[in-house]
Amino acid sequence: MNTDDVLGKAPLFAALDRESAAALRTGISEVELHKGQTLFSEGETGDRLYVVLDGKIKLVRTAPDGRENLLSVLGPSEMFGELSLFDPRPRTASAIALTDVRLAGLGHDDLRPWLTGRPEVALHLLRALAQRLRRTNDVMADLVFTDVPGRVGKALLDLAERFGQRTEEGLRVHHDLTQEELAQYVGASRETVNKALADFAQRGWLRIEAKAVVIMDAERLHARSR
């Protein structure tokens, strides 16, 4: 997919008509990262917002004792890093490439005139943040109420919605996460996640592949995860 198409799906640009979007794009700088490279780190100052053009990137937070928490996995047309743009404080998470990745970056100064001049841009961003807040509250409730296998199931179904591809076997989700990362994502130990996955596989609900799963029975998985 080309850059224009991907950007067009991002909420930031969806708000604009064709010419405005093109104008906004002139302020954009493209960045490419190889798998494992860090875009920015927790604690740094920064006022750039990014939209994923191709590949996947993860946002991680490191606790003082070194343990890590995976906040989100972002794919094409998804946006991140905007918090430090609206609220000028150091970054609270690091962004690390899960695969080779191509990004569109937009600085505070590039965006500011659009925010002040075109109210619909600000409104779209408000909506995007509101949706994120809703989603985050869901995840919090899951952490409290749902057990680890349930959270693993939910995480897989969520990833499936965004990255899943229909195959004759089922829904293939190439999440590009190690089980360790999946564990950090759902807030559990690697071992427990592994056992949950093994259990699901044994029941025939899914098949485990390297950094991917093929979901064969989304129904059951969903039922188990609620």
Q: Please give the structure tokens belonging to residue 15.
A: 């708000």
φ and ψ at 103, to 5 degrees?
-130, 150
Does position 69 bind DNA by CB under 7 A?
no
* Residues in 129-158 that interact with DNA by CB under 7 A: 147-149
Residue 174: what residue type? H
Q: Please give the structure tokens belonging to residue 53.
A: 């053009």
Please tell me whether residue 226 adopts helix, strand or coil conformation: coil
DSSP lists the bridge partners of residue 97 as: 57
Using CB under 7 A, which of 41, 180, 216, 222 touches DNA? 180
Which residue, 137 or 178, is less far from DNA as judged by CB? 178
Using CB under 7 A, which of 2, 167, 210, 219 touches DNA? 210
Which residue, 3 or 179, is less far from DNA as judged by CB? 179
Q: Please give the structure tokens belonging to residue 111.
A: 């965006």
What is the spatial distance between Cα 35 and Cα 33, in angstroms, rounded to a whole number?
7
Which residue, 105 or 150, is less far from DNA as judged by CB? 150
Where along the sequence are the contacts to a second copy (CB under 8 A)?
61, 63-65, 67, 69, 71, 82-83, 86-87, 89, 92-93, 115-117, 119-120, 122-123, 125-127, 129-134, 136-141, 143-145, 187, 226
**Least distance from DNA to the Cβ atom of residue 151, Å:** 8
CB atoms within 10 A of CB 178: 13
Q: How many helices (H) and strands (E) does the chain have?
A: 10, 12
Total residues binding DNA (CB under 7 A): 20
Contacting positions for DNA (CB under 7 A):
147-149, 178-180, 187-192, 194-195, 197-198, 201, 208, 210-211
